Structure formats: structure tokens, C-alpha cells
Structure 1
Amino acid sequence: MQDPTRRFSNRADSYARYRPAYPEELLDLLAAECGLAPGLAVADVGSGTGILSRLLLERGAEVYGVEPNREMREAGERLLAGYENFTSVAGTAEATTLPGNSVGLVSAGQAFHWFDPTGAREEFGRILVPGGRVALVWNSPLYGASPLMRDYRRLLERFGTDWEKVTHLEVDAGTLRPFFGGSFEERLLRNRQTFDRESLEGRLLSSSFVPGPGDERCSPMLEELSGVFSRHQRGGEVVFEYEVRVFHGSLEG
């Protein structure tokens, strides 16, 4: 499988424009359970184009966006240029470069499945202050939620390059238990995006496991996507459904 730190190098713009943000309920949860508050130092690891970092910044946190991929990191820097409480960091989950005992929360949005869990646990434990928390978050498409989502899944099964391998990387409470090493909480929220035909194509092309422009399989894939859109659009739009999976806890167990 392609090096996860380089998978999105040619997809950064599409990722920034077409991937979903997170619902306000997530930020409320992080405030209630993980101490998110103005002034809290947060390491947003695998921060990518800054989607989660921006929401943390809007809650007043001091955010260190740790991202190994140059193109994704630069896209995040452009998005977050107006936030004085944002620092962009070229680092990985296993080697953030941040000082020890320097952050009260480590977040990872749409990223932990690319980490080495053992190395990440050691590094997160190093940079967290005593009592600090870790929050792992995913916007997971609900492929069975509607006819649109089922057709979209069939398209991925047909054209995805290593889609099945990537889906097997998804984690659950069982696989995360050794990482947290003790008690942790799981919460499920809901999210959605509304797309027109152009933005649905952008959402598809933001995925690292589909053929991109220049690949001979891209044109037939986009033709099939047009058919999917035409079948399910209402008023020129379709609705993409997500389950937001949140796992949070300490590493002190």
C-alpha cells in the first residue's frame, strides 16, 4: 500500500474543498469530556488541510497542527493563516517534534488509521500533560443509509484502487483498547453534506483510493458517477450521510 504520509499529495486541494467538517456536537463533547476551552494547548495530529484544527481554533484553543504531508500541510496553513493561535508543525504521529508535557489534548480527525498505534501511543503519552486526553474522530460514510450511498459504495467497489484495503484499516472499540490501555468512551454522532454534481465529483476525487485525473480509469468512473447523481438528485442536489465516530480517553491506564 502507498506510503500513508504521501497518499494525499495530489489531492490536497480537493480534500480541503470537499471533505466534510464536523458537527458542533463534537466540539461540545470535547469541551465537556476532554477539557477543550480557550487557551488549551491541542496537538491536532494528522491535521491535513486543517478541517478539525479550524473548529478547535474557533473554540479558542492553541492548536499545533502536526502533518507530515507537505501539500496537505501547506493547504492547512493557507486555510488557517488568519489564526494567531495556530502553529503548523512538520511531524508525524510517532514523532511530533513537540516538547514533552506540552499539550492537554491530542486530537486526530480522519487520521488515526494511518498511524502506527504503538509509536503513536508512546509519543502522545510523551507530549501530554498528566491527565491529558486523546480524542480520535472519524466522519465515516454510511454506505447503507440511502440508495445514493449504496450506489456510491458500488462505484467504489468497482473503481477503487485499494479501497478494500483502506476500509479494513478502520478501527473500532476493540482494536483501540490496547492503544488507550484503560477505560475510554465511544460516542456516535451524525453528519451530512449536500452536493451538486460538481462537488460530488470533488468529494470522490478527494479520496486517495480512487483513480485520479490522467488515469485511464478516471473518465469511466466519472461517467458512472454522473449516472449515480442523476438517479438520486432532487433539485440538483444529493445528500451524503455520515456517522461521526468519537473515541476519547486518557493513556494513563
Structure 2
Amino acid sequence: MKNVRRFDGKVGDYVRFRERYSPEILLPILRSVCGLTRDWLVADIGAGTGMLSDVFLANGNRTLAVEPNPEMRQMCRIAHEGNLNLTMIDGTAEATGVNSSSVDLVAAGRAMHWFDREAAFAEFRRILKPDGWVGIIAFGRTEKGREENLVLEQILRDFSPSHTDTHAGYEVYGQLKSYLPRDFYHQEILKTISLNWQDLLGLTLSLSHSPSRADPHYPLFERALRDFFERFASDGEVQLETRYWINLGRFEPV
């Protein structure tokens, strides 16, 4: 439940400022590696406001957006009003509410580290068709790389009490091949984004572990972020390195 409520009060910043997944980048890879067609049923687990779902909707797929946070579900519902290919489900990665052996592809975006991994992978296996695929696809700023990324990461560590707890779950991304050994595929794609001050502030506030505006430490946090922006900005924008972290694979038959 703690993880379900982590984004309470952050959904507005999340939907406005988070980095968007690109169908133009992801769909060719999914078609080539997995054989994705528009006939597949996709379950987006921890769907949030539907940003990864949008990739599959752009391909014409019927998509089940499974999300336990009420604010996220509501925003997703509003953003996709009238899209008959999207179905919202109040469920978790460990108990999706999706029918057994019904899904061609289980996808998860920037959410896998919130799941109970053993229970989640067991649930993924339950809802997948026998030869179904799992895609764990994350996209966002890197923690290393450019100096800007390193300095911003340190600011977050200094002002985010839950930062260590949040990042402890990231180790799962290095273990995915052991869960999905059949036809496992991994690719990383580096890019950069340019952010003005409002973009930087909004993106940072959308993170689960950043101080909220009601936090007593928030004024110091915003001052540190402003100092960061003034140090690195050129022509009113700061550049950060981003990375697609694409992992595709299938379970071994039981």
C-alpha cells in the first residue's frame, strides 16, 4: 500500500512534465523482436497515467491499463476518454484482475521496481498466453553520464529521505534475464532532453521521492534546484542525458 500511495499529490506534475515514450522508437523494436501486431492484447502493469499504454494504442492494440493508484487511474481515464481500445483496471502487479492465459504481451514501464517481483512475475505468467512476451521498458534521465545528471542526482539524494529505499528496488532491472530467459533481448538507447526552469522543477517534483511543496524542506530543495539550473543552463535550458532501457523476453515453459 505504501508504494500504491507514493504518487498521491504528484499526478498533475507527473502527467505534465514526465518524459513521454516514443512509439517511433519502440514499435519497430517490438515488431522486430516480439512480432507485435495490432491484434495482440496488451496488459500495461502499473500503467500510471497511460504513457506506455499510448505506445500500444498508437499501434492499434487493445490495451488493459492496470493501475492501483486512484489519482493515476482518474487522470488516465480523462486523458483517454473515448478511446475504446483502452480498458482501465483497478489492480496491482501481484493481483491484476486480468483473466488467465488471455494476454499476448505484459508490459511495465517505470514501475517494475515498485512490485513484489516474485509475486508479480508469477502473476505475469498466469495472465499470459503460453508463448506470450514480457516487456520491461523504462525511459527517463540517467543517474550518471553528463555532469548535469550527476549533480542533479546528488541534490535528490540530499533532499529525499526515501531515495535509498526507492533505488533499492532498481536491482531487479539487472536480473530480468534470469526471470525471462527465453529469447531475452536487451537494448539501451541514450538521448538528451532540454528543460527550461518550469520543466525541470515539474519533472523533479513528479518523482516519488522528491519533497512535496508542503514539505518543510521544500524551500531549500527548490533553492538547490535553482542553483543547479543557473549553473548549467544555456539559453534558458539545461540538458540532461536520458536512456531507454528495453528488456523483452519470455518465460521458460513449465
Tell me the TM-score normalized by structure 2.
0.93
Secondary structure of the corresponding residue to residue 170 of structure 1: helix
Q: Moved runs in structure 1, 4+ residues, more than 6 A?
A: none
* Counterpart residue identity of residue 143, structure 1: E
Write the distance in 2 (CA, Å) between the matches of 1:136 and 1:200.
Answer: 26
Give the structure 1 partner of residue 155 of structure 2: 155
Write the distance in 1 (CA, Å) between the matches of 2:66 and 2:189.
Answer: 25
* Counterpart residue identity of residue 128, structure 1: L
Pair 84,173 (structure 1): closer, same or farther in 2 beyond 3 Å: closer
Secondary structure of the corresponding residue to residue 73 of structure 1: helix
C-alpha contact 2:14 2:203 (8 A) present in aligned 1 = yes
C-alpha contact 2:19 2:140 (8 A) present in aligned 1 = no
Of 243-252 and 142-151, deviating more is: 142-151
Secondary structure of the corresponding residue to residue 186 of structure 2: strand
Give the structure 2 partner of residue 128 of structure 1: 128
Spell out the pairing of 1:7-156 with structure 2 (5 A cutoff).
Answer: 7-23=6-22, 24-156=24-156
Spell out the pairing of 1:155-174 with structure 2 (5 A cutoff).
Answer: 155-171=155-171, 174=174
Aligned residues: 252
- Give unpaired runs (5+ residues) of structure 2: none
Q: CA deviation at 1:17?
A: 1.0
Write the distance in 2 (CA, Å) between the matches of 1:35 and 1:163.
Answer: 37
Secondary structure of the corresponding residue to residue 118 of structure 1: helix
Give the structure 2 partner of residue 208 of structure 1: 208
Write the distance in 2 (CA, Å) between the matches of 1:202 and 1:95.
Answer: 32
Q: Give the alignment's Cα RMSD to 1 decimal.
A: 1.7
C-alpha contact 2:26 2:55 (8 A) present in aligned 1 = no
Q: CA deviation at 1:186?
A: 1.3
Give the structure 1 partner of residue 245 of structure 2: 245
Q: Percent identity?
A: 33
Pair 25,171 (structure 1): closer, same or farther in 2 beyond 3 Å: farther
C-alpha contact 2:94 2:116 (8 A) present in aligned 1 = yes
Q: CA deviation at 1:158?
A: 1.1
Q: CA deviation at 1:146?
A: 1.9
* Counterpart residue identity of residue 30, structure 1: L
Write the distance in 2 (CA, Å) between the matches of 1:173 and 1:160.
Answer: 22
Write the distance in 2 (CA, Å) between the matches of 1:178 and 1:118.
Answer: 12
Secondary structure of the corresponding residue to residue 154 of structure 1: helix
Write the distance in 2 (CA, Å) between the matches of 1:101 and 1:66.
Answer: 16
C-alpha contact 1:147 1:232 (8 A) present in aligned 2 = no
Write the distance in 2 (CA, Å) between the matches of 1:53 and 1:111.
Answer: 13
Write the distance in 1 (CA, Å) between the matches of 2:210 and 2:161.
Answer: 5
Give the structure 1 partner of residue 187 of structure 2: 187
